[in-house]
Amino acid sequence: MRREAAGMMAVRGSVVRWVTGDIINTHYLTNRFTLQTQQKCGFRKVAKKVEPKKGVAEEIEANEILQKKDVAPSPDRPTPHPPTRSFGRLVKPFVFTIGFTGCSFGGAAIWQYESLKSRVQSYFDDVKADWLEKIRPQKQGDLRKQVNQWWNSLSEGQRTVTGIIAANALVFCCWRVPSLQRTMLKYFTSNPASKALCWPMLLSTFSHYSLFHMAANMYVLWSFSSSIINMMGKEQFVALYLSAGVISTFVSYVSKTAMGRFGPSLGASGAIMTVLAAVCTKMPEAKLAIIFLPMYTFTAGNALKAIVALDAAGLILGWRFFDHAAHLGGALFGIWYILYGHELIWKNREPLVKLWHDFRTRGPGAGGNGSI
């Protein structure tokens, strides 16, 4: 009898640990992206039937009397329902997409104007700095000098995307802070069923939860940085990159709403697909290779066709491993911008630049002839 009792106690203890472990695992998963509300079945005793207390019994009896008199009882708490397909919620993100894209390219035009204006002054500052560098005694092991030499050895495109990579790395570190999880899920993931719709369209472009995901995206961005910035300059590139992130997220919103498949998305893949598509459209005969298979080369045009076909198939067949709608939207935006958008947007920036020039020359100390 003692052995049987000990065996029963051991089985009961293991069941308690099993069920407790399931509850802990469920609580852990609820802090991640997927909410798990079901537990595994365990051996439990049949719950005894609890007699309602006197106050509860009286309330039940009163509700029955009210029902007989055709009077509705007190309403229960509303149960949560899954989000419905409401395209009306996409009006605000659509307006945000148009407005943010216009502000991005407008700001880039003003940025380029200011850069050209200060280029002469920068030239004289560089000459003065070189002269001071020659007469100043050199320090051995100067860390600042080594950093400056490394920075100057980079191309203009690499220096431009370094800030984007640093921003992505900072957001990646923020994902590791437990107290920031709720904020990160709200503002750094894009979901058409979320309360926050607009700013996550931009912030999720700099958000990665997986280290491999971030490393792969930043490697592609670093590889194509020199080509894309040689094509359009750093100012136009920054406007294109930021606009692509918002536009690709909006395409993802439309796809999720149309299919009724709501869920959070994050990553810079949509914006990077725009960069990749722009380079491949501008230079379709350029040779590309996969990092792990450098012996196999293919043209940029064929690579773009394969990527677009893959994402289109994933969108039609309902693959859910990647956000294929965001990838496809980013690629199509990159193709459109090289073929038509550059002519429609960037080459028509003259009125805005002239307006900004007039505004700047009206300031105190400006010349009366309006010259720079």
The verdict on whether 269 is a catalytic residue reads yes
Whether 155 and 162 have beta carbons less than 8 Å apart is answered as no
Q: DSSP characters for 144-162? A: HHHHHHHHHHS-HHHHHHH
Q: C-alpha distances in angstroms, 312 versus 119, 254, 256?
A: 45, 15, 15
Q: Which of 225, 243, 324, 327 is catalytic?
A: 327
The verdict on whether 342 is a catalytic residue reads no
Whether 248 and 272 have beta carbons less than 8 Å apart is answered as no
Q: Residue 263 half-sphere exposure, CB side, CA atoms within 13 Å?
A: 12
Q: How far apart are CA 361 and CA 367, in angstroms?
A: 7
- Taking the CB of residue 337, how many other CB atoms lie within 10 A of it? 24
Alpha helices in the chain (DSSP H): 2-30, 54-68, 91-117, 119-135, 143-153, 156-174, 181-187, 199-203, 211-259, 269-282, 300-317, 324-336, 342-344, 350-361
SS3 per-residue string spanning 244-262: HHHHHHHHHHHHHHHHCCC
Q: How far apart are CA 181 and CA 173, in angstroms?
A: 11
Angle between the 350-361 and 91-117 helix axes, to the nearest 10 degrees? 60
Q: How far apart are CA 173 and CA 168, in angstroms?
A: 9
Pairing of strands 287-290, 293-299: antiparallel
Query: Which residues share a beta bridge with 190?
Result: 265
Q: Which of 190, 204, 269, 324 is catalytic?
A: 269
Q: Residue 185 half-sphere exposure, CB side, CA atoms within 13 Å?
A: 15
Q: Which active-site residues does the annotation give?
A: 269, 327
